[in-house]
Amino acid sequence: MKITADTPSALTALDRPNSYIGRAVPRPNLQRLMQGRGQYVSDVTLPRMTHVAFLRSPHAHARIVSINTEAAKKSPGVVAVVTGAELAKVMTPWVGVLTHLKGIKSAPQYPIAVDRACWQGEAVCAVVARTRAQAEDACELIDIVYEELPAVTDPETALDPATPVIHEALDDNLCFERKLDVGDVDKAFANSDAVVEATFVCGRHTGVCTEGRAIIADWNASEQRMTVYQATQAPHMMQDLFAKHLDIEAGQVRVLTKDVGGSFGIKVHTYADEMATVALSKLLKRPVKFVADRIESFVTDIHARDHRIKGKIGVTKDGVITAFEIDDLTGIGPYSVYPRTSGIEANQVVNLTGGPYNCPNYRAQARVVFQNKNVMCQYRAVGHPIAVAVTEGLVELAAAKIGMDPLEIRRRNLFADDSYPAQTASGLKLELLSHHAALAQLDTMINYAGLRTEQKALREKGIYRGIGFASFIEVTNPSAAFYGVGGARITSQDGATVKLDAQGAITIHSGVTEQGQGAEAVLAQCVASSFGVSMDRVRVVTGDTDNTPYGGGTWASRAAGIGGEAAWQAGKALRGNVLAVAGAMLQAKPDELDIRDGLVVDKVTGAERLTLAELARVAYFRPDTLPPGFQAELMATRHYVPRAWPFAFTNGIQASYLEVDTDTGFVKLLRHWCVEDCGTIINPQLVNEQIRGGVVQGIGAVLFEQCLYDERGQMLNGNMADYLVPMAVEMPDIDCGHVVSPTADSELGAKGAGEAGTAGAPACIMNAINDALRPLGATPLTDMPFTPGKILKALGKV
Amino acid sequence: MEMDITLTVNGERIAERVEARQSLVDFVRDDLGLTGSHIGCEHGVCGACTMRVDGEIVRGCLMLAVQCDGSVVETIEGLSDSGELADLQAAFEQRNALQCGYCTPGMLTAAQELLKAGTVPSREEIREHISGNYCRCTGYHAIVDAIESVAKARMGAGT
């Protein structure tokens, strides 16, 4: 850590009594949530508020021949029935492309389908009524005549000449393609002692946030202002987009985001039905509320991870990895999602595959195709679980083929801890990672040798346990390289404004947002520490575009590393301002004073000189007593954006210990471990809980979760009884360990920790299952999720 | 069709006219403004709407408001104000056993039912008991820790 005091001090910023960096302090806002006093958008009611329900296409692909709304308009409570064509006069369509994803293309998407529905669940008509129930009643009275069109559902044939083109203007069903060829891959494979090939499948799954997407739009025609209460991760981004597509100024839009019931990347995108809700409010000049119910969530919340990857690895008999090759194919629905595009996940798979390993030969192809299913886009750990599954799956299959221990093959290929800065074959720039230190810690933590002994002994009793690993790298703290350079108005910088109130307490306004990760706690910790007060004197304000500095919000593990650094710097700046006031009041030099635990003290002796309350009283109510010409500035703003590195990569390794019931195919997870390196740890408890929650989300992907579609594009399991998510009883305890390699790009040195668990868990559990079944001669399992049926099939029992 | 119902909610006598089709959770949220009971799936799987009716926990989405005529209903607001959950809430806070907090009122209400049995459940028993309550954020480990610590504390076994 290279944290320095702003002025020479007897105590550094980290050992004042109010220093909270590295401490597991509780989050300040939890009692509200626990006592049922949270304010989620679904809880908000406004005067004259109406509710919208959407009639959604039952077909994956259909021309809308006619819409008869007469009966619906007469239904009790109905305020308006609005079609896509009518709403297109209020809001302009959008196209989800970015210039740095060369060649990416998509078609204009409207708030409500105009003429044609392109997936089952796309909204085709809106009913606004006094209650949601009345709006849904009226939806049943709308008569729509459809002409069903052929549905493109299988990515494998989406580019065939015989397959219909979904958007004629685009000429084909290819959204985006990327190819990469580094080193001499063919020569490397030819010189390998063993080459392993496998096809990996990641099941299409979705976020299943406990709270559905929710929005209230309130167009006040008398002020010409749109106030939007939205469960979003990125209020400023949405402000910009609402303004753009309503053709009004951004300053005419205020986005308010209070409590959000889960996000995980689901709530950082533009959704047609949410855009429609905003447009309907403009049209009707009154508040309109939309809350996605569970069925709507399954067919309209972005899906993710629907990838088929053919992978190939070469190794020498000494376990040196000679080359990686992948061919990734993914179907992303009928539109590239706006504004982040649906090309990023495949792009990340290309970037991240092979990422932990010092291997110079790499060839990759990724194709992203359109299809008539719900849209796919970025979800927690974008691309990582896929790339890690392919990489780590291949590494363990190769280790098995040459008879090498899976940890040993990693030791021989992971980037050495003293080799940084380094660059991956795909071109990722790595500042400082710690793969070997993490692996060594994990080896000890799990008592690897002991586990292997136990595994062997149990096999003799017919009990099949497996041990699997996954090393990974993780994208955090994205700079403008992620979206900004591609033309998206998605900011990578963030700001914090800190002010001293008239009683000497602190308020911080930040551009990052809180969906449960603990961002508000981290902001309070940073400001309390750098300014010099206890955390209970800090109040945090987020999620209000009228009252916070312009910022990107919370996604891609940026809140602590970027928002936290801005808060840290703002606290320091205010501290300097306050000491200037104290110096004026005390006729002392500011650099001979310090702020500790809410008091202005003598820097050397620590003796109290002034309370902050007294300082604030004088500055606000008796400024006449301050020296002539002196102006107290009791509010300070600082911004921060990573500049030295495009991303602050983190690293880690996970291990799984599990038991497979070879009669039923059920997997029992016994224990899970993760050692990761997110740089400076601001709050160890919050980091660990990000890891644990992330691991369990990854477990869902590898064992349970899949959006099942039939060949006509009908989702078959769009409810929580049929789409399985991890519940407590199936989940293991999860142990966390840490290595600390701070980024030198910021003073705090914090990187992100939100993706690590989800990135590594699927590969790790896949490897453990295959390790368990290897002595039985089972076909290696690479087709997620690993349901009991698939496991029995691999064992040749069904 | 509408019906008149009379019931006690968090100790308060309530008389309302409700639609026969209205669920209990919609009634407490929309008609009574008790928004601490959350709606997650509306088909009885996620447990976000868990509340107490006549001493037993129920899914507020699987029960109709009219079925509660004459009943005693307790929601997270009442269970918090009475102090019944105070030690559990303190443990959740200390252990960061919630992230977004959306499942938490239901989770606390379900956990309290287990703890009322007056024994110290095993971690497996805790996991089994809360398996009708879906949490996407935490991965459950911290929730199990928090419930376990309260069970031990209530039994005087210390934490």
CA triplet A290, A292, A294: central angle to 5 degrees?
Answer: 160
Q: Which residues pair with A99 in a beta bridge?
A: none
Residue A8 has pLDDT above 50, yes or no: no
* A520's tokens: 């508000």
Pairing of strands A50-56, A288-291: parallel
Is A211 in Cβ contact with B102 (below 8 Å)?
Answer: yes
State the pLDDT at residue A18: 86
Q: Taking CB atoms and an 8 Å limit, are A33 and B42 in contact across chains?
A: no
**Helices in A363-475 by DSSP H: which ranges?**
384-402, 406-411, 435-445, 448-459
Average pLDDT over residues A350-366: 98
pLDDT digits (tens, 9 = 90+) for A515-541: 999 999 999 999 999 999 999 999 999
Does residue B131 fall inside a structural domain? Answer: yes
Q: Which residues of A touch B22 (CB under 8 A)?
A: 133
Give the β-pairing of A288-291 and A143-148: unpaired
pLDDT of residue A7: 45
Interface probe with A: pick from B140, B143, B147, B150, most Cβ of A within 10 Å: B140
Contact assignment for A294 to B40 by CB distance below 8 Å? yes
pLDDT of residue A16: 81
**B67 and B43 belong to one structural domain:** yes
pLDDT at A615 (0 to 100)? 98
Q: Assess contact for A533 and A498: CB atoms under 8 A.
A: no
CATH of the domain at B58: 3.10.20.30
**What is the rounded distance in angstroms from the CA atom of residue A762 to the CA atom of residue A695?**
8
Decide if A133 touches B, using CB distance below 8 A. Answer: yes
**Smallest Cβ distance to B43: which of A30, A262, A721?**
A721
For residue B95, the distance in angstroms to the closest alpha carbon of chain A comes to 8
- Phi/psi for B81 (5° steps) reads -65, -35
- Judge if B90 and B113 occupy the same domain: yes
Give me the residues paired with residue A303 across strands. Answer: A206, A376
Return contacts of A625-630, CB within 8 angstroms, 24+ apart: A626/A581, A626/A584, A626/A585, A627/A584, A630/A584
Q: What is the mean pLDDT of residues A367-388?
A: 98
Q: Are residues B22 and B58 in the same domain?
A: yes
Does residue B93 belong to any structural domain of this protein? yes
| C-alpha–C-alpha distance, residues A256 and A242, integer Å | 13
Confidence category of residue A17, pLDDT binned at 50, 70, 90: confident
Same domain as B6, residue B75: yes
Looking at chain B from residue 113 to 132, which residues have their Cβ under 8 Å from any Cβ of chain A? 123-124, 126-128, 130-132
Report yes or no on B35 lying in a domain: yes
Last residue of a domain, one of B80, B105, B128: B80
Query: Cβ distance A145 to A154 under 8 Å?
Result: no
Per-residue pLDDT for A226 more than 80?
A: yes
CA distance A209 to chain B (A): 7
Rounded to 5 degrees, φ, ψ at A6 are -70, -30
Pair (B76, B113) in one structural domain:
no
The CATH code of the domain that includes B129 is 1.10.150.120
User: Please, are residues A680 and A742 in contact by the beta-carbon 8 Å criterion?
Assistant: yes
Asked whether residue B89 falls in the same domain as residue B68, the answer is: no
| Of A223, A211, A229, residue with least CA distance to A45 | A229
- Which residues in chain B are closer than 8 Å to A26, comparing Cβ atoms? 93-94, 96
Q: Say if the Cβ atoms of A692 and B103 lie within 8 Å.
A: no
Please report whether residue B12 resides in a domain. Answer: yes
pLDDT at A543 over 50: yes
pLDDT number for residue A564: 98
Closest among A439, A517, A358 to A677, alpha carbons compared: A439
Same domain, B76 and B94: no
Of B35, B50, B80, the one marking the end of a domain is: B80
Length of chain A: 798
* C-beta atoms surrounding A161 within 10 Å: 6
Q: Which of A794, A763, A98 is nearest to A385 (CA)?
A: A763
For residue A536, count CB atoms less than 10 angstroms from its CB and return exposed for 0-12, middle for 13-18, buried for 19 or more. Answer: exposed
Which of B27, B135, B141 is the best residue to mutate to test the A interface, defined by the most A CB atoms within 10 Å of its own CB?
B141
Amino acid at A729: V
A649, pLDDT greater than 90: yes
Q: In whole angstroms, give the CA distance from residue A274 to residue A433.
A: 40
What's the per-residue H, E or C state across A591-641? HHEEEECCEEEECCCCCEEEEHHHHHHHHHHCHHHCCCCCCCCCEEEEEEC
Q: Which of A616, A543, A562 is nearest to A585 (CA)?
A: A616
Both B45 and B94 in one domain: the answer is no
Which residue, A504, A758, A535, A479, is CA-closest to A634? A504
Rounded to whole angstroms, how far apart are CA atoms A513 and A246? 24
A684–B contact, CB cutoff 8 A: no
Q: Do B140 and A731 touch (CB under 8 A)?
A: yes
Give the residue from chain A lying closest to B40, CA to CA.
A210
Range of B48's domain?
2-80
Q: Is the pLDDT of residue A152 over 60?
A: yes
d(CA A208, CA A263): 9
* pLDDT digit string, tens, across residues A456-507: 999 999 999 999 999 999 999 999 999 999 999 999 999 999 999 999 999 9
A76 CB within 8 Å of a chain B CB: no
Is the residue at B115 inside a domain? yes
**B1-40 residues touching A, CB cutoff 8 A:** 19, 21-22, 29, 34-40
Name the residue among A152, A291, A134, A269 with its Cα closest to residue A216.
Answer: A291
Q: What is the pLDDT of residue A1?
A: 47
When pLDDT is cut at 50, 70 and 90, the band that residue A689 belongs to is: very high
The residue whose two tokens read 């408890």 is A685
Q: How far apart are CA B67 and CA B63, in angstroms?
A: 7
Interface predicted TM-score (ipTM): 0.97
Phi (first) and psi of residue A43, to 5 degrees: -90, -10
CB count within 10 Å of CB A690 equals 30
Concatenated DSSP letters for A104-126? -----B-SS-SSEE-STT-EEEE
At residue A5 the predicted structure's pLDDT band, cuts being 50, 70 and 90, is very low
User: Is residue B100 domain-shared with residue B48, that is, in the same domain?
Assistant: no
With respect to residue B139, please indicate whether it lies within any of the assigned structural domains.
yes
Distance CA A727, CA A725 (A): 6
Residue range A443-455, pLDDT digits in tens: 999 999 999 999 9
CA atoms lying within 13 Å on the CB side of residue A190: 4
pTM: 0.97
Q: What angle do CA A608, A614, A615 make, to 5 degrees?
A: 90
Which DSSP helix (H) or strand (E) runs through A24?
A: none
How many angstroms separate the CA atoms of A71 and A68, rounded?
8
The predicted-structure confidence for B66-117, as pLDDT tens digits, reads as follows 999 999 999 999 999 999 999 999 999 999 999 999 999 999 999 999 999 9
The answer to whether residues B9 and B57 belong to one domain is yes
| C-alpha A129: how far from chain center | 34
Is the Cβ–Cβ distance between A401 and A196 less than 8 Å? yes
Neighbours of A462 (CB within 10 A): 8
Q: Considering CB atoms only, which of B133, B137, B144 is closest to A516?
A: B137
Q: What is the pLDDT of residues A165-212, one digit of tens each?
A: 999 999 999 999 999 999 999 999 999 999 999 999 999 999 999 999
> Measured in Å, how far apart are chain B's first and last C-alpha atoms?
53
| Tally of domains in chain B | 2
User: What would you report as the CA-atom Rg of chain A, rounded to the nearest whole angstrom?
Assistant: 28
* B46 within some domain: yes
CB pairs under 8 A between A and B: 173
How far, in Å, CA of A426 to CA of A574, rounded? 43
What is the structure's pLDDT at B159? Answer: 42
Task: Count how many residues are written for chain B.
Answer: 159
Beta bridge partners, A118, equal: none
Contact A728 B130 (CB under 8 A): yes
Single out the residue of A282, A206, A278 nearest to residue A238, CA to CA.
Answer: A278
Q: Which domain-ending residue is among B56, B80, B104?
A: B80
CA-to-CA distance for A309 and A348, rounded, in angstroms?
13
Question: What pLDDT is stored for residue A3 in this prediction?
Answer: 57
Do B80 and A34 count as a contact with CB atoms less than 8 A apart?
A: yes
* pLDDT tier for residue A29 given thresholds of 50, 70 and 90: confident
CA dihedral for A340, A346, A351, A353, sign (positive or negative)? positive
State how far the Cα of A285 lies from the Cα of B85, in Å rounded to an integer. Answer: 43
Distance from CA of B49 to the nearest CA of A (A): 11
Kindly list the residues from chain A whose CB atom is less than 8 angstroms away from the CB atom of residue B134: 208, 210, 720, 725, 727
Rounded CA-CA distance B128/A344 in Å is 39
Closest C-alpha to B147, from B117, B114, B118? B114
The answer to whether residue B59 neighbours chain A at the CB level (below 8 Å) is no
Two tokens at B34? 């008790």
pLDDT at A101 over 80: yes
DSSP letter assigned to residue A15: S
pLDDT of A10 > 90? The answer is: no
Question: pLDDT tens-digit profile of A745-763?
Answer: 999 999 999 999 999 999 9
Cα A636 from chain centroid (whole Å): 30
Mean pLDDT of A266-294: 98
Spatial distance between the Cα atoms of A611 and A601, rounded to a whole number of angstroms? 9
Residue A125 near residue A686, CB atoms below 8 Å = no
- In this prediction, residue A106 has a pLDDT band, given cuts at 50, 70 and 90, of very high
Bridge partners for B81 per DSSP: none
Is B131–A516 a contact, with Cβ atoms under 8 angstroms apart?
no
DSSP A691: H
Residues B20 and B38 in one domain: yes
The answer to whether A570 touches A551, Cβ cutoff 8 Å, is no
Does residue B159 form part of some domain? no
Contacts of B105 in chain A (CB under 8 A): 34, 36
Cα gap A305→A307, rounded to integer Å: 5
CA distance linking residue A43 with residue A214, whole number of Å: 10
CB A680 within 8 A of CB A1: yes
Exposed e or buried b per residue across A590-620, where buried means at least 16 C-beta atoms within 10 angstroms of its C-beta: beebbbbebbbbebeeeeebbebbebbebbe
The two structure tokens encoding residue A42 = 């679904």
Asked whether the predicted pLDDT for residue A6 surpasses 70, the reply is no
Q: What are phi and psi of B23, to 5 degrees?
A: -75, 160
Cβ–Cβ gap B36/A36 under 8 Å: yes
Chain B contact present for A75, CB below 8 A: no
The pLDDT score that the predictor gives to residue B38 is 98
Instruction: State the Cα angle at A274 between B42 and A266, rounded to 5°.
Output: 70
Closest Cβ opposite residue B102 in set A37, A261, A725? A261
Same domain, B55 and B114: no
Query: In 3D, which of A493, A571, A452 has the Cα closest to residue A236?
Result: A493
Dihedral Cα A780, A781, A783, A787, nearest 10 deg: 160
Question: Smallest CA–CA separation between A235 and chain B, in Å?
Answer: 17
Instruction: Find the closest chain B residue to A263 by CA distance.
Output: B100
The two three-digit tokens of residue A210, written as one number: 């406990």
* Domains defined for chain A, CATH in brackets: 30-38+493-640 (3.30.365.10), 42-149+209-300 (3.90.1170.50), 303-480+644-794 (3.30.365.10)
